[in-house]
Amino acid sequence: MIHVLVTAKDGQLGQCFQSLAVKHPNIQFVFKSSSDLDITNTANIEDALKDHTFDYCINCAAYTAVDKAEEAIELVDKVNHIGAKLLAESCKKFNVTLIHVSTDFVFDGKATVPYLEDDITNPLGVYGKTKLAGEQAISNVLENYFIIRTSWLYSEYGNNFLKTMLRLSKERNEIGVVGDQVGSPTYARDLADMILRLIESKNTSYGVYHYSNKGVVSWYDFAKEIFKLSDSSITLNKIETKDYPTPAVRPKYSVLHTERISKLLDLKIPNWKVSLTQAISNL
């Protein structure tokens, strides 16, 4: 039996792990909410870890409100950077392998080909900078860790682009969506499934990996497909980033190179359209 602790069980990724747990009878899960387990509190983390002999800790806890992050710098750093560091220190103490979820926002989006794991990082905003600081803290503290960077995460759970578009399609007749930022939408359930495969493989090729669904689209293309699959009659207009100013600067190009994880797990990653169809069907 493999023993796994999952943080932030109420977030969209945490809920995806809960929905998949029944398919993995060889894994014994303990799910903790952010109120049960505060990753910014060492005593809290150690209390959670000492109750069981965990093999893995999957950290889904993060401050992900990109625009609000620009104003809440201290809080964002506390969760994304200090929390990751404290979790890594406790995992080291209890000999637990840490699987930490990170983001495409560690890059500046100036590339024209998919980002490799070893490419130079250069985050544009507070969210990306604190997530990168968390990555660096983990790699400085631990040897047995997997950092999984992902992009444009959505699912049936929590707040995300898919659910926002579906809500707006009921509230409005017309909407404008940015067409000059491109990336790869990632179904959180696919990401969770990959992480569970990684755990079951008991692989020890530790380090940084990229995972997103296959295919490259703009936010406009993503929205267009959501409305098509949900039979929405809303009028969709393509706008530019400059037409929709936000407190945080977004990377224009957020495509991650995923071959490293594919080779490691002999994994065929689904195309984003296939996964989006499944997510909308589940909703």
Helices 188-201 and 12-20 meet at what angle, rounded to 10?
60
Q: Does residue 279 lie within any of the structural domains?
A: no
CATH number of the domain to which 16 belongs: 3.40.50.720
Among the listed residues 63, 115, 127, 154, the single catalytic one is 127
Q: What number of CA atoms fall less than 13 Å from residue 51's CA on the CB side?
A: 12
pLDDT of res. 51: 76
Block residue for tokens 């929205």: 223
Q: Does residue 265 lie within any of the structural domains?
A: yes
| Beta strands 56-59 and 2-6, pairing class | parallel
One digit per residue, the tens of pLDDT, for the chain of length 283 reads 999 999 999 999 999 999 999 999 999 999 999 999 999 999 999 999 987 899 999 999 999 999 999 999 999 999 999 999 999 999 999 999 999 999 999 999 999 999 999 999 999 999 999 999 999 999 999 999 999 999 999 999 999 999 999 999 999 999 999 999 999 999 999 999 999 999 999 999 999 999 999 999 999 999 999 999 999 999 999 999 998 889 999 999 999 999 999 999 999 999 999 999 999 999 8
Q: Does residue 123 lie within any of the structural domains?
A: yes
What is the spatial order of strands in the sheet that 207-210 belongs to?
A: 27-31, 2-6, 56-59, 97-103, 145-150, 207-210
Q: Per residue in 110-142, is it b (16+ CB within 10 Å) or e — as a string?
A: ebeebbebeeebebbbbbbbbbbbbbbbbbebb
Q: Does residue 243 lie within any of the structural domains?
A: no
Residue 127 known to be catalytic: yes
- Domain count across the chain: 1
Between the alpha carbon of residue 282 and those of residues 155, 163, 187, 211, 213, the distances in Å are 9, 12, 12, 22, 18
- Per the structure, the complete domain to which residue 201 belongs is given by 2-158+185-212+255-270
Q: What number of CA atoms fall less than 13 Å from residue 265's CA on the CB side?
A: 22
Output the pTM of the full model. 0.96
Q: Does residue 138 lie within any of the structural domains?
A: yes
Q: Does residue 165 lie within any of the structural domains?
A: no
Hey, what are 89's tokens?
């220190």
Query: Closest Cα to residue 276, out of 170, 188, 210?
Result: 188
Instruction: Tell me how crowded residue 144 is: count the other CB atoms within 10 A of its CB.
Output: 13
Q: Does residue 234 lie within any of the structural domains?
A: no
Q: Does residue 22 lie within any of the structural domains?
A: yes
Indicate the residue type of 212. Answer: S
pLDDT of res. 283: 86
